[in-house]
Homo-oligomer: A and B are copies of this chain.
Amino acid sequence: MRTYLDCLPCFVRQTLEAARFVTDDEAVHADVLRQVLRAASEMDMSMAPPAMGQHIHRLIRKATGNADPYREVKGQFNRLALDLYPDLVRRVEAADDRLETAVRLAIAGNIIDFGVSATISDEAVGKTIDRALRDPLVGRVDDLRQAAADADTILYLADNAGEIVFDRILIETLDAENLAVGVKSVPVINDATAEDAEAAGLRGRWEIVENGSDAPGTLLETCSEAFRERFMAADLVIAKGQGNYETLSKAPRPVWFILMAKCPVIAGHLGCEVGNLVIRESASTSEPRTHA
């Protein structure tokens, strides 16, 4: 999807929040904010919003000289999510519809958005999980079930650290022979990298594929050629979270999106309400796909 005017105030607000999260140096806050304001004033609105996120976090990393400012927080939330893991697995095993429960838990991981605040209470996490298991799901799990059954190869694009442990439960429930997990090559915000996939316990059992990019979401034009080939060749692509929806809603192949709609622009684009739990296949905008 393109960038909307409503995204611009949000970029500026997010920049200040991120800069403050990463450093106490007010000169850095001001410098990064001014650069983002200038970049936003000239932004090509046909780009997906995460293109600006990529720019913002490059500026923050450069200004702070810190290549991975969220590393500690990511580790913390991977561990927190791993503590929850055994109980979540039991919930899936006890469920009437294991896939639907695993999808709901994957969305719970997306709602919690571990990277947004430095701390999160056990109570808040518990409430979010209960809510994700109970609220209506916009979209049809049965269609994903069928698509997964029909697919020989699946590419699962992870979203954030912490959340990736919740994704692991869905990945395990899909129980596909040939599934690869896509992650960022370069740390950006709290997005999952290969290190996080390993921390989440995915390495070994599933192939981890780095996308070659430092953009939040999956900005295909910034990904490696090798990743783009994998993306196009997979029988089924599942993409977690808003960033992946923003960057892949018009991808040149069908993609299954699993997310909570967190902002009015995304909700409007999806045709749902803010806060809805969504599972949705994109319409393909490409020629009929040829299987590899």
Contacts and interface: CB of A to CB of B under 8 A. Distances in A.
Interface of A: 5-6, 8-9, 12-13, 16, 26, 29-30, 33-35, 37-38, 40-42, 45
A79 to B, nearest CB: 32
A26 B16 CA distance: 27
Given A5-B33, A37-B41, 14 more contacts: A5-B16, A5-B26, A5-B30, A8-B16, A8-B37, A9-B9, A9-B13, A12-B12, A12-B40, A34-B41, A37-B38, A37-B40, A38-B41, A41-B41
A29 to B, nearest CB: 6
A29 B5 contact: yes
A5 B24 CA distance: 13
9 contacts: A5-B16, A5-B33, A9-B12, A12-B12, A13-B13, A34-B41, A37-B40, A38-B41, A41-B41
Contacts of A30: 5, 45
A276 B30 CA distance: 29
A47 to B, nearest CB: 14
A44 to B, nearest CB: 12
Contacts of A45: 30
Nearest to A30: B5
Contacts of A33: 5, 8
A45 B37 CA distance: 14
A6 B26 CA distance: 12
Contacts of A12: 8-9, 12, 37, 40
Contacts of A42: 34
Contacts of A37: 8, 12, 37-38, 40-41
Given A38-B38, A38-B41, A41-B41, A9 B16 contact: yes
